[in-house]
Chains A and B, each alone.
Chain A
Amino acid sequence: MKRLILALGLTLAGAASAETVNGLKTADEFAGVQNDEERSVAVFQEMMKVIESPRCLNCHPRGDTPLQGDDMHPHMPPVQRGVADFGAPGMYCTTCHGSENVAYSTGDGSIPGHVPWQLAPVEMAWVGKSAPEICAQLKDPARNGGRDLAEIHEHMAEDGLVGWGWTPGEGRTPAPGTQAILGELVQAWIDTGAMCPES
């Protein structure tokens, strides 16, 4: 049964031409917006639906502790960011998180996994920030890991850990849409000038 649902999800995810997939509009949906600047802003607001997903925010926290779960509670057990955003000696991310999601053997739920599994650096914190703030931050190499826009696209469209957000395992709601649609949105945003919303 689980397998069937997964297959169904993949089918939907592949339907990039659909207007809205898993709550995320495709880039084509914004073709009607004539003004590039307005379209760019609208596309970015759509990207925000993914950025604001608990799947993304939980590991782009403010401070030194990740969040956890769809309700974004502080991570339990209380892990520390550490000097490499990878936990502290004695309890690294890999103390619990492996290369793939693992279903719990004793009850419902699963522990997420991917290689690598780590926090976004603190300067990339998104939690509690507005769309304009996040947008500006995304474009600022000092706060985006030294990426240019093409590299931002690559991160969003192709990075494996980002992609985990759409296959997060039992007990977690996947990010809206698909990584492919997000990739298209990011490209469309860049192509229209990577404009930021004012509010």
Chain B
Amino acid sequence: MTIQSRRQFLATGAGLVIGLALPIKGRAQSGAAAVLSKDGSAAGTFAPNAFVRVAPDNTVTVMIKHIEFGQGPFTGLATLVAEEMDASWAQMRAESAPANDELYKNLFFGLQATGGSTAMANSYIQMRQAGAAARAMMVAAAAEAWDVPATEISVADGVVTHAQSGQSASFGDLAEAAARQTVPVEPALKNPSEFKLIGTDRPKLDTAAKSDGTAIFTMDVHREGMQTVVVKHPDVVGAAVASFDASAALEVKGVVAVRQIPQGVAVYATSTGAALKGRSLLTVSWDTSMAETRSSDQIYEDFSQAATREGGVVVEETGDSGAAIDAAEIVHEAEFRFPYLAHAPMEPLDAVLELKDGKAEMWMGAQFPGVDKGAVARVLGLDGADVALNVMLAGGSFGRRAQTTAQIGSEIAEIAKAAGSDGAWKLVWTREDDLTGGYYRPLTVHRMRAGLDADGNIVGWENTVANQSIMLDTFFDDGKSEGTDPTSYEGSTKMPYDLPALRVNWVRMESPLSVLWWRSVGHTHTAYATEVFLDELLEKAGKDPVQGRLDLLKSEAGRDRAVLEKVAEIAGWDGERVKGDRAYGLALHESFSTYVAQIVEVSDAGGYPRVHKVWVAVDCGVAVNPNVIRAQVEGAVGYGLGTALFNELTLLEGGVVAQKNFDTYRMLRIHEMPEIEVAIINSVADPTGIGEPGTPPIAPAVANAWRALTGQAVRRLPFKSAGA
């Protein structure tokens, strides 16, 4: 029995028809796949669809259409398949699906894409159907083999059983016969009450390889005759090469060539060490005429000037906020400033490309693999069908590898193009390249104004957000945006609070400096501005942060209410914001349809906050794997906390990026990590995101605690720069 290249069609719950073309053997087995799948052989393998393969050795391998960079799709999506197959967890494996925008599209986006915390949400029905189809075919195969009615057959823990006749078989035993069965069009799915795996803690499928050094990431890929390439990039984002002198670099043993590419000056070498040494000896002068040359201070001033209540476009309006605030007993105003931020994934950006006889193969941790693949085809003048991309495990991303402009795909393609021959190249970015490489979380100014009546009720609320757009003018801009970009202000609109008069404006600012989604995107700043400003208003009104919010929640905001009540319960909230040298602060914020409330305990560590403990309540629908949910919340809190305390990318006069490595762009370290307690709300609602939603509430919660402790309102992040 061999795998047929095309099978029948499988309809998914989202109505999508997926062609069952299987990944080409060898492609699928390369890179990360080879590491995580011990058996790459196709003989006797049962592959009912593009997502599930059952091998004769009884392993079930799930092709994961989302990149795995720590957020857990290998484990999560495999769980969905295993649940509906009634497989045993021990037999499950996961592999990265290769780039294929048709087979492996994100059902929310229409192309293969990881982002917006959608991996679980868009796959929930699709992967369960894939598993259910496989199960049905196993049962049909057994029924045929044993000549018994399919309805009498049961499946549990990967064993197919006919109790009456006492016969049983493993999935592996049945793989070959199952492959001859008809793929069911609408396989029945379990009722959530029947779930055995979904909703319980399960060990992650990628832990072992990530604990013994065997997991293969892009930077670990080696190809015969491969050259390593490092590129001298400008430290003013967007500058271009004016001239360069490579004579000293070319003297370095192992340096093969130095070539100018649109992105900078590329040093080709036989090893990374030689390439870096060569780069350090380059002399390059830069043309900054098309670059952002304003300083951060100047940009803040420009954005602040533009952030007027009449500025930009009104993106949400209820009632007459202006009149309400003008007539208010107390008017409260604040301006919040948020810096440019780098994602700084631990694995710097990288890619491998091999060009041979008019075909290109790539290895890369891409969130939009089809986009990077397309860029390679375009730059090298290849047919799209002649470019293959192996999606690799990535050492973090946080949005950085979700490239609408194929920054890395384009750069490796230009490297190959400049070489002018067949060959293999590995592009390695350094941390300096990463921090000065643009695509930052947008620098943002929020200007806010609200009014309280004599009873302390909020009568009007206004928020003007000024920043650059992430999505407009990219392929995500479908022309229906009417000039607005929700990723720029999401979270400042559709608040769960019942505010009688409200107005939110967005002012689109321009800069040649590129911006990008950064873990939780617009919520990175909107949660801070709204939850800190609200907390200040409640304080002015003499109201408790928890009860004050509960009183304000709209009647339909039941899930917000539930997480708020839950976090107050587990933290033992008693209304005392300060106890001894400790203070407590709260924030509530929904993002990516997941509801999160956090309470923090802080003290004053010599002028800035030390966070001791964080209590978190989260509602992300069905908790597919609570173990992964807790891990993501822990990580998201740490990620957001380190950033709030320490991080900003500062443009100096002339636009030079001041922070070039972790000595000045400093990461949260273990001694600064708080204890974290997570409560997951029980839910049967379809699962929503968990990679990002834990991040937005931490910074405002800390700010609210810090204000309680010190009286200092932190209106500019990071805390370090605010003088905290």
Contacts and interface: CB of A to CB of B under 8 A. Distances in A.
In the complex, are there CB atoms of A and B closer than 8 Å?
yes
Interface of A: 76-78, 103, 105-108
B671 interface: yes
Contacts of B273: 105
Contact of B276 (A76, A106, A108): A106
A176 B666 CA distance: 31
B554 interface: no
A106 B432 contact: yes
A107 B432 contact: yes
B663 interface: yes
A43 B125 CA distance: 82
Nearest to A77: B669
Contacts of A78: 669, 671
A107 B669 contact: no
Contacts of B662: 76
Interface string B392-425: 0000000000000000000000000000000000
Contacts of A105: 273, 276-277, 280
B432 A76 contact: no
B487 interface: no
Contacts of A76: 662-663, 666
A107 B660 contact: yes
B430 A106 contact: yes
A112 B666 CA distance: 20
Nearest to A80: B671
Contact of A107 (B277, B430, B666, B671): B430
B202 interface: no
A78 B661 CA distance: 16
A94 B430 CA distance: 24
**Which of B277, B431, B663, B666 gathers most chain A CB within 10 Å?**
B663
A96 to B, nearest CB: 12
A77 B666 CA distance: 9
A107 B666 CA distance: 17
Nearest to A69: B663
B117 to A, nearest CB: 31
Contacts of B663: 76
Nearest to B663: A76
Contacts of B671: 78
A118 B581 CA distance: 35
**Which of A77, A103, A105, A108 gathers most chain B CB within 10 Å?**
A105
A81 to B, nearest CB: 15
22 contacts: A76-B662, A76-B663, A76-B666, A77-B669, A78-B669, A78-B671, A103-B280, A105-B273, A105-B276, A105-B277, A105-B280, A106-B276, A106-B430, A106-B431, A106-B432, A106-B661, A107-B430, A107-B431, A107-B432, A107-B660, A107-B661, A108-B660
Interface string B654-688: 00000011110010010100000000000000000
Contacts of A108: 660
A108 B660 CA distance: 9
Contacts of A106: 276, 430-432, 661
B502 to A, nearest CB: 44
B606 to A, nearest CB: 11
Given A103-B280, A106-B432, 5 more contacts: A105-B273, A105-B276, A105-B280, A106-B430, A107-B432
Interface string B241-280: 0000000000000000000000000000000010011001
Contacts of A103: 280
Nearest to B272: A105
A108 B436 CA distance: 14
B234 to A, nearest CB: 13
Interface in B409-463: 430-432
A67 to B, nearest CB: 13
Contacts of B277: 105
Interface string B221-245: 0000000000000000000000000
10 nearest interchain CB pairs?
A: A106-B430, A107-B432, A105-B276, A76-B663, A106-B432, A107-B660, A106-B276, A107-B661, A76-B666, A105-B277
B449 to A, nearest CB: 38
Contacts of B432: 106-107
A107 B430 CA distance: 9
**Which of A77, A78, A105, A106 gathers most chain B CB within 10 Å?**
A106
Nearest to A105: B276
Contacts of B280: 103, 105
Nearest to B230: A106
A57 B644 CA distance: 31
**Which of B273, B280, B431 gathers most chain A CB within 10 Å?**
B280
B669 to A, nearest CB: 7
A105 B431 CA distance: 11
Contacts of A77: 669
Nearest to A107: B432
Nearest to B671: A78
A77 B671 CA distance: 11
A77 B431 CA distance: 16
A103 B277 CA distance: 10
A105 B432 CA distance: 11
A189 B431 CA distance: 48
A160 B9 CA distance: 76
Contacts of A107: 430-432, 660-661
Nearest to A106: B430
A103 B273 CA distance: 13
A163 to B, nearest CB: 25
A76 B273 CA distance: 25
A135 B715 CA distance: 46
A78 B667 CA distance: 12
Nearest to B672: A78
Nearest to B248: A1
Contacts of B661: 106-107
Contacts of B669: 77-78
A66 to B, nearest CB: 14
A79 B280 CA distance: 29
Contacts of B666: 76
A78 B668 CA distance: 11
A164 to B, nearest CB: 20
A35 to B, nearest CB: 45
A63 to B, nearest CB: 12
A106 B669 CA distance: 22
**Which of A76, A78, A107, A108 gathers most chain B CB within 10 Å?**
A107
A118 to B, nearest CB: 21
A108 to B, nearest CB: 8
A108 B430 CA distance: 12
A107 B432 CA distance: 7
A87 to B, nearest CB: 15
B269 to A, nearest CB: 12
A46 B431 CA distance: 42
A121 B203 CA distance: 47
A107 B282 CA distance: 12
Interface in B277-332: 277, 280
A76 B280 CA distance: 24
Contacts of B430: 106-107
Nearest to A76: B663
A106 B276 CA distance: 6
A170 B663 CA distance: 15
A77 B662 CA distance: 9
A108 B432 CA distance: 10
A29 to B, nearest CB: 38
Contacts of B276: 105-106
